Amino acid sequence: MVEVTLLGTNFARTEKQVSRRIDGEEWLGMQCFVALRGQTVLELAAGESAPGIAMTTDDPLRWTCSSKVVTASLFARLADAGLIDLHAPIPGYTEPVTAARLLNHSAGLGERAEEPFLAPYGRVAERAGTEPHHPGFPVGRQRRYSSFANFAVLATLAERATGRAFTELVNREVFARSHVLDSSFTAEPAPTWIGDSGSVRPALGELIPAESLGAVFPGVGCSGPARDLAAVVREMSPHAEDRPRSAPEFVTATAPFVPCQRSGDTAEWGLGFVVGWSRFGRCASPDSFGHAGCRSSLVMHDPRHDLSIAVIGNTISESLVRSERVKPFIPAIYDDLGL
């Protein structure tokens, strides 16, 4: 285990959660990063990045669905620059699809466009335009969680508005502003594994086909160390010096909808961010925000304490319905910090 503790805090409860995941072989390896008032208090790596190779805090890990916060942060910057109108209908759709509705999963895009890893995001976006409404999911009135189609459309929308490639925009408008150096949608793929019931095996050819590992997926495809994920999310906090002016709209709950039908998630959404304590636990303040993915990643920022947390494992549950793996880290960290 590699650990850096700058404030002398005893992270015994957090380390117990680490041991539970690694010793039980739920994850092959993991990273945990915690910053308080913008200062690192814990940076930890445990287990292996690949069989026989020790995990380090610098290894890139897949952020899975937590990647959505990067695309959302980009749209906050584009809205600030007047390049995107979040609430303007996007041409080519028979229903009133907007960037805001794509970000909060209320755009009602068709299910076939959700098929992952089958095409570049531009082609996924084109397909989504031919079937913009999913039966039973009224646009703007009901959420249907989207991992791929919504964010493929967002990436192409950003490219049309700026004349620049999505990855270039992310690097310039999100990562550079967050002082992130080691994360990307185009970095060499991070090793990913499937694990359940005490076993792990490569995910190649299964959840993540080998031919798709180098592809860019704006809703799921970012990789990097946990510290970078935490830094991106903190930029949307009132404590960030360069916070987007439009950030409050992104990290404040929108009008309530019924729960997301695809995931059963009962969390409230801002624009691209899960918001409120219901998703992160009662120890978090009501204005906390972040995301989680595939029982293998979690990022949150609690503005009340200026607390940033990122936990990433490199192993995805085979069933994807196993009990939460990342959420128990939140109360453990709050307890260890005495918050």
- List pLDDT tens digits, range 188-217: 667 787 776 667 777 655 655 555 555 788
**How far from each other are the two terminal CA atoms of the chain, in whole angstroms?**
25
Domain range summary for the chain, segments of one domain joined by + = 2-207+215-337
E-only strand ranges, the chain: 2-4, 29-36, 39-50, 53-54, 61-62, 193-196, 199-202, 223-224, 268-269, 274-275, 289-293, 297-302, 307-313, 315-317
DSSP string, 185-240: SSSPPPP-EEEETTEEEE-BTTTB-GGGTT---TTT--EE-HHHHHHHHHTTSTT-
- List pLDDT tens digits, range 87-144: 999 988 878 899 999 999 888 886 666 665 556 788 788 777 776 566 667 787 778 8
The model carries a pTM of: 0.91
Distance, CA of 295 to CA of 23 (rounded, Å): 17
Class of domain 2-207+215-337: alpha beta
Which regions of the chain are under pLDDT 50?
A: 3
